Structure 1
Amino acid sequence: MKMSFRLLAFFVPIFVFAVASGKQPKEHYHRYMLSDYRPQHNPRTQMDYKRHKAPVYPIDETHHKNISDTMGPLIKLVESEETIALQHLLVRIYIHEKFHCMGVVISEMLILTASTCFINMSPEEYMVKTSDDILHAAVKSNTSYHFIRNQELLTVLRFREAVFFPQIVNGAFSVRMCAHILEENSRALLPTYIRWRHSVYTQRTVVLALEECRTRMHDPMGKVFTDTMFCVRNKKYTEHCQPTFGNPLVYEGEICGINIMGHNCPKIFGVDVYVNVYSPDSYITNRVEAIKKLNIESAIF
């Protein structure tokens, strides 16, 4: 309080002297200090305020097309007409209570994820958190699976106890995987699980040519980027590495790839790298069924 009086005693004589000498003081005074003006931007309190119409900006249709609902794309099931939202199949994998990467449930017993999550790590048990935030114990499966073409880059985990989803009527299930390798310019869905929102952001993307992928990855000779891998554009750029390891790529409701490098890891490439996941048995079965529907025998005889 004493300090305030001392400041007033110091500045008031200077102000009086400036006014008496006909010079303008250097201090700037706002209108609300000298009148009833109040800058609330409301005509009831500021009489000279005039409302202006808000500008109308064009709607970015491509932005809305790229974003799906928060549950992600629907995934088809084998030998069934049922589908299930991807969010129910995505799991978070923990080692020693620390989050490491994502994975996708491909049956009531199996989880598919990226081996790059577990470099120099071989724990006896993994803890897997499903979409309902329940932890389940899982172990690494040493069985070879026909849908994996690169055993070094993909890992299959096995639940210690079968996990069933109320969204699936039959209980036991297995998800559909691509019947063939995705070709250049194939249009697919790139889902990203946002942990703090517990939701899935999905954008449309395009598969790039193998040569372009290797050029972007600075690996023109294909020493690291082999023909079992492919890349897609990711328009959601981030400044830092986004650990999306283990997230799947979806094509026409089927799982076609698993992310093995995250997004912009270890630096910005502008593309996401996946390992091919496909089931040639499904392709052969689909082709046989298509041939049967043609009814060739009746046409010939």
Structure 2
Amino acid sequence: MLLSTLLRFVLLLAIASSIVAQKKILIKSKKVRKLYGTGDWVPHFGYIPSHAASQHSHRRRQKNTILNVNVETDNFQELSVYVARILIKDKLFCSGLVVSSQTVLTVKMCMHDKLATDVVVKLSDGSLHKVANRTDTQDFTMSKTADMLTLLSLQDALGAQFVREPPICTNPVPLSEKVEQWNWDKNLVSPKKILASLIPSDRCKEIINDPNGMVVTPGIDCVENKKITKKCEKTFGLPYVSRGSFCGMNLLGHNCPNASSADVYVNLLKKNIYIGATLSKVLETNLEDNVF
């Protein structure tokens, strides 16, 4: 009996010692984590030899996988150079796309009740450029939605990197295709993206309560909103991207005025190329019908 009690006491003592030791290790690890920051903090104590978390084989595999996906699938960094922040008194109120060395495309609603000369464009490199005036444009969407876009003319020309126009869609994006929905990071400095689906027009009208199609008209695209927020996010003028080209520009913001599972975009389209290609197909079909 005495022996049994003694063994039980020794066992409990061993368990208690183990718990205390684990707590000490946990406290120590928290201190080390705070010292080295988050992520792959170093070193991992209690191992022989000590090592960094990034040396774990599963971590290496995961990082390599992510890197390969980014390299193979998109030109995000190349496109992000064209995305500009539009400011008044250092405050972001809209975004746009640099479409030439001296013009920035944005949604006309952003400029309502604003003087062009009060506006400053901020590029991805942090440089600031004053706006001289703004003009209407018919070049970047179909005629029915052209009045929703405007061009901001800059006082001074930008560098040679903007001589080439950014890639704009030359065909409507199929509903079956996933697109990249762009937004700003939490600091409103760098663009970020998420994959999302296009929403059929009839379904979008239901979601945003537009039964008569006053907003959702031909030339308007709707993209699913995967991030419901309590506040309106000023994503006006930010693009969605398909196959490496800008294909839409945000018209109504993100969750504005109220949270919704659909974001509304003006379709971006190089209509001259699109119309030319469409006419060529029609003419070719008619020619084949007449010949054969």
Task: Check whether TM > 0.5.
Answer: yes
Deviations 1:127-149 (A, max 9, x none): 11111111101233324332234
Aligned equivalent of 2:156, options 157, 161, 168: 161
1-structure distance, mates of 2:26, 2:196? 51
Asked whether 1:242 is paired with 2:233, we answer yes
Q: Does 1:221 align with 2:203?
A: no
List aligned pairs for 1:15-30, cutoff 5 A: none
**TM-score when scaled to structure 2?**
0.67
Q: Which amino acid aligns with 2:121?
A: V
Q: Deviations over 1:250-269 (max 9, x none)?
A: 11111111001111000011
Tell me how many residue pairs correspond in the alignment: 234
Q: Is the 8 A contact 1:109 1:161 kept in 2?
A: yes
Partner of 1:42: 24
Contact 2:107 2:251 (8 Å CA) reproduced: yes
The superposition leaves residues 28-82 of structure 1 with CA deviations (integer Å, 9 ceiling, x where unpaired) of xxxxxxxxx9687126999xxxx9xxxxxxxxx9xx98xx86xx9527xxxxxxx
Q: 2:75 aligns to what?
A: 74
Unaligned runs of 5+ in 1: 1-36, 52-60, 76-83, 291-299
Distance 1:227 1:45, change over 3 A: closer
Match of 1:240, SS? Answer: coil
Q: 2:137·2:149 contact (CA, 8 Å) conserved in 1?
A: no
For 2:233, what is the secondary structure of its paired residue? coil
SS in 2 for 1:236: coil
Q: CA deviation at 1:211?
A: 0.2
2:267, 2:26 → 1: CA distance?
65
- 1:132 to 1:220, Cα distance in 2 relative to 1, 3 A: same
Structure with greater Cα Rg: 1
Aligned equivalent of 1:207, options 198, 201, 216: 198
Residue identity opposite 1:244 in structure 2: T
Does the residue aligned with 1:132 lie in a helix, a strand or coil?
Answer: coil
Which of 83, 88, 94 is 1:95 aligned to?
88
Identity over aligned pairs, percent:
27
Question: Which of 262, 268, 285 matches 2:259?
Answer: 268
Q: Residue 113 of structure 1 corresponds to which residue in structure 2?
A: 106
Higher helix share: 2
CA contact (8 A) 2:185 2:192 kept: yes
Pick which of 179-188 and 222-231 moved more. 179-188
Pairing partner for 1:231 from 213, 222, 240: 222
Query: What's the counterpart of residue 284 of structure 2?
Result: none
Distance 1:228 1:89, change over 3 A: same
Q: Which has the higher contact order (CA 8 A, sep 6+)?
A: 1
Q: Answer yes or no: is the 8 Å Cα contact 2:116–2:152 preserved in 1.
A: no
| Post-superposition CA distance 1:223-263 (Å, at most 9, x none) | 23222211111212222211111101111111111001111
